[in-house]
Structure 1
Amino acid sequence: MAASSLTVSRWLLAAISSLSPFGISIMVPLVPMLSMSMAHSVSELQYLFSIYVIGLAVSQPIFGFITDRIGRRTVLLSGFGVFVFSSILLMFADTLVMMILLRFLQAVGVGVGTVVARGIIRDHLPPDEALRAFALLTAAMGFTPVIAPVVGGFLAPLLGLKSVFLLLAILGAGLLLLCFHSIPKDTAPDSGTRQNVSIKGYLSVLRSRAFWGHTGAFGFLQGMVFTLMASGSVLFQEQFGLSITRFSLVWGGSALIYVLGSFLLSRLSALGSPRWQHTAAVGMLLVSLCTTALILWQGLSLELVVVPLFSSMLLSGILTPTTMYGAVNAVPQWSGSAAGLSSSVGMTMAGLFSWLGAAAYEADPALIMLCFGGAGCGFVACWWVAHHNTPSPAL
């Protein structure tokens, strides 16, 4: 593709991608209030988070298939309509079972945003611009988990739990209207194309070494973060004596460093070149191996958690956009299917590493950093698969 044909604001695409992580992160500070008001334990309320992740993982491959079959605009508007409707119903849900069901519908609806945004960027931008656009998406999605809990923690005590779901409904409706007016109608595919999407699309994607290499790399990068996310607060409080406030500062700082990495990639085109991307991948390998070796040698310490965390987040901010773009560009004509499947695999791997991190911490707190280092090594292995004898997706 020689020139940009994108008519949709990149900020709008970043916003529709970010609504999904906003919807899960805003619930974090609500757990104590829900536990008191609904007389359920904190462990039972975790289903409100896990069902959301399951909804995303299940729906996104389906949405990717449908967008390749009938176009992106209709699917996006329909999905956001489901999100708004379920958010409104959550204001009136009075049982945990009902809330879990509606949270699943929320995730199913909002999951289309990530798929459509990635597909539109791949379809309408040349590689160098697409990579910078993916960097903007990554930065926006990285900033969301920082601001969403603050918003939820402010609204819920002041205006009640219903105000949080009302805010989600308003945000969803606002983005729905913006998408309705801003995203052009798709050119309808011919009947032969529609009939062959299910065969050619997914089979081409599933057979692509580049797709699985980039998707695996993306999943392992998510795994590094989610390994610590599952038990991070407990790790910092029990092992290092940090208060929840100080942990929040550490975790928020790491998220901002992630955003910084993506922001630098969006502004400095040289960082997207194969040379610098491979250098960043080697840096991730060094972080992973050194963390593992030092933990085995010296044992667990605050420095051996914070320094690898911050280093890996900066590198992830630079590398994640390339893995995202590489996955959707592996089989260009089926970018929607690739976007949905890669996002689903990434979410699934994140969930697995979240569970693995929690299990490792219960066995031995130091093991959580070994899982972290293992995920980093897994990223490098998949990066090699994606780039060995495969043309670089960027530039």
Structure 2
Amino acid sequence: MRQDADAGTGKGGPAGVTGAGGGDMLRGMASLTKGTENRPASPSAVPLEPGEAIPRPYPPLWLLALVTFSGTLAMHIFVPALPSAARSLGVGAGAMQGAITFYLIGLACGQLFYGPLADRFGRRPVLISGLMLYTFAGFVALFAPGIGSLSVARFFQALGGCAGLALGRAMVRDTAEPQAAASRLALLNLMVSAGPGLAPALGGALVALFDWRAIFGLLAAVGLGLLLLCWRRLPETGQMRTGIRAGHVMRDYLRLLRSPAFLGFTLGGACTTTSMYGFISASPFIFVNELHRPVQEVGLYLAVMVLGLSAGSLVASRLVRRSGIDRVMIGASLAGLLGACLFLGVVLSGHMSVALIMPPLVLFTFGSGMASPMALTRAISVNPAVIGSAAGLYGCAQMGWGALCSALVAIGGDPAVGAGLVLVGGCAIGQMGFWIAGRSRRATASRDADAR
């Protein structure tokens, strides 16, 4: 099939994206993603060959970035409010870090279901349903009277928010081949990573100006706005599969889990990227309690770290065309491991300061920003027939690892030491995962060559 089959103009899409409005939207999309793909004339100008599939329209990359970002926004924006919420609800630091862990568990669990549901019913209706749950849970959290009800509301907020995490990336892969998808995912990651850099600063400002509950009012409003945008502007990109049953879903998951390549890329991507959540959940207590910085500065330090993610994603989107996905991924993982080791060394030296810990942390996030889109592209490309399920399983592994890292840091005596150990261990395991995946791909390529 020609490349233009993936670069449709909106014909055959849902209401709201066809006709002149859809053409304007897609022309804007083309300008946003200029340079990421070589896109020939539109299918409306080139007749389809007999039996060729109707082209699927490109969804706006900025909208995919927003829905993907919304899932983690609710976690990042709440981080600076943890000490304030703990005092208000009369609980300790560990219990409030548990609220982050519950959110990550919700993100992990939800993605196991969104992938298969999206493969069966389409990306668009499933994503809109998730945004409805995200918005409703935000309103419930706004009025939660205690830590128990808040944690439950956060869990369901995560279940809704993870729809964007799983399906936003799958919709990119739906409409591009692996090399082009890696470039577009890097751009998507760049847009998304800018959000968590701003979110903690915004959360700190809301706590200082109003109250920690104002954060959930804002999140509910964001969910409602995204719901309206997706209803009007989001086309369907998936090819719906009929007759999917629970047994089929389990078969797809087992097939993926039996693939050493998928396991390696997923393990590597999860450990390299979301080990950072262990540090994020501990960051208010590290900066405020150990380094004696005001709570308003926590968001600024996290924003500086996220600059590393953004820079890594930007560099990856350029390097992947020249160096290839695998080289960029391995080099990025090694850079992240070096940054994690340097951070742990500073903590163990007993001379911890903001000036000494920030450069290693930025190096770590730079490596994570480069490795993340590469690992994701490889993982969900292992079996193109179940991209949605692969994206969901990958996202589940990411958030499950993030929840584990957050819990491990919370039970430790010193949050800085715990965060350092989690970062180093995560990067080391991630590097091992990439090695397993690379070895599996080389063995498969060798068998295919021998068969020919």
Q: Shorter-chain TM-score category? A: 0.7 to 0.9
Candidates 232, 257, 262, aligned match of 1:206 = 257
Alignment-mate amino acid for residue 59 of structure 1: G
Q: Deviation of residue 60 (structure 1)?
A: 1.0
Q: Who is 2:11 aligned against?
A: none
Q: Who is 1:148 aligned against?
A: 199
Alignment-mate amino acid for residue 184 of structure 2: A
Alignment-mate amino acid for residue 428 of structure 2: C
Q: Who is 2:241 aligned against?
A: 189
2:277/2:405 contact within 8 Å kept = yes
Q: CA–CA distance in 1 between the matches of 2:105 and 2:150?
A: 15
2:333/2:368 contact within 8 Å kept = no
1:2/1:126 contact within 8 Å kept = no
TM-score (norm. length: structure 1): 0.85
1:348 lines up with 2:400 in the alignment:
yes
> Within 5 Å, which residues of 2 pair with 1:1-395?
3=3, 4-5=6-7, 6-185=57-236, 187-191=239-243, 197-235=248-286, 248-268=299-319, 269-270=321-322, 272-284=324-336, 305-359=357-411, 362=414, 368-390=419-441
Q: Who is 2:446 aligned against?
A: none
Q: Deviation of residue 229 (structure 1)?
A: 2.9
Q: CA–CA distance in 1 between the matches of 2:285 and 2:417?
A: 13
Change in Cα spacing, 1:38 to 1:224, as seen in structure 2 (3 Å) is: closer
Q: Percent identity?
A: 28
Q: Deviation of residue 358 (structure 1)?
A: 4.4
Alignment-mate amino acid for residue 313 of structure 1: T
Q: CA–CA distance in 2 between the matches of 1:299 and 1:166?
A: 41
Please list the CA deviations of residues 10-39 of structure 1 after superposition, one character each: whole Å capped at 9, or x if unmatched: 111111000011111222233344345444
Please list the CA deviations of residues 355-395 of structure 1 after superposition, one character each: whole Å capped at 9, or x if unmatched: 334455539x6565344323222111111111224169xxx
Change in Cα spacing, 1:232 to 1:153, as seen in structure 2 (3 Å) is: closer
Change in Cα spacing, 1:224 to 1:152, as seen in structure 2 (3 Å) is: closer
SS of match in other structure, 2:143 = coil
Q: CA–CA distance in 2 between the matches of 1:264 and 1:81?
A: 35
Aligned length: 389
Change in Cα spacing, 1:195 to 1:38, as seen in structure 2 (3 Å) is: closer
SS of match in other structure, 2:441 = coil
Q: CA–CA distance in 1 between the matches of 2:131 and 2:281?
A: 28
1:210/1:385 contact within 8 Å kept = yes
Q: CA–CA distance in 2 between the matches of 1:116 and 1:225?
A: 22
Alignment-mate amino acid for residue 189 of structure 1: R
Alignment-mate amino acid for residue 374 of structure 2: T
Alignment-mate amino acid for residue 150 of structure 2: M
More helix, by proportion: 1
Alignment-mate amino acid for residue 320 of structure 1: S
Does 378-387 or 25-34 show the bigger shift? 25-34
Q: CA–CA distance in 2 between the matches of 1:366 and 1:111?
A: 30
**Structure 1: gaps (5+ residues):** none
TM-score (norm. length: structure 2): 0.75
Q: Deviation of residue 212 (structure 1)?
A: 0.7
Q: Deviation of residue 249 (structure 1)?
A: 4.1
2:80/2:295 contact within 8 Å kept = no
Q: Deviation of residue 131 (structure 1)?
A: 0.8
Change in Cα spacing, 1:39 to 1:291, as seen in structure 2 (3 Å) is: closer
Q: Deviation of residue 222 (structure 1)?
A: 3.0
Alignment-mate amino acid for residue 100 of structure 2: F
Q: Deviation of residue 352 (structure 1)?
A: 1.7
Does 57-66 or 93-102 show the bigger shift? 93-102
Aligned-residue Cα RMSD (Å) equals 3.2
Q: CA–CA distance in 1 between the matches of 2:293 and 2:217?
A: 34
Does 378-387 or 277-286 show the bigger shift? 277-286
SS of match in other structure, 2:144 = coil
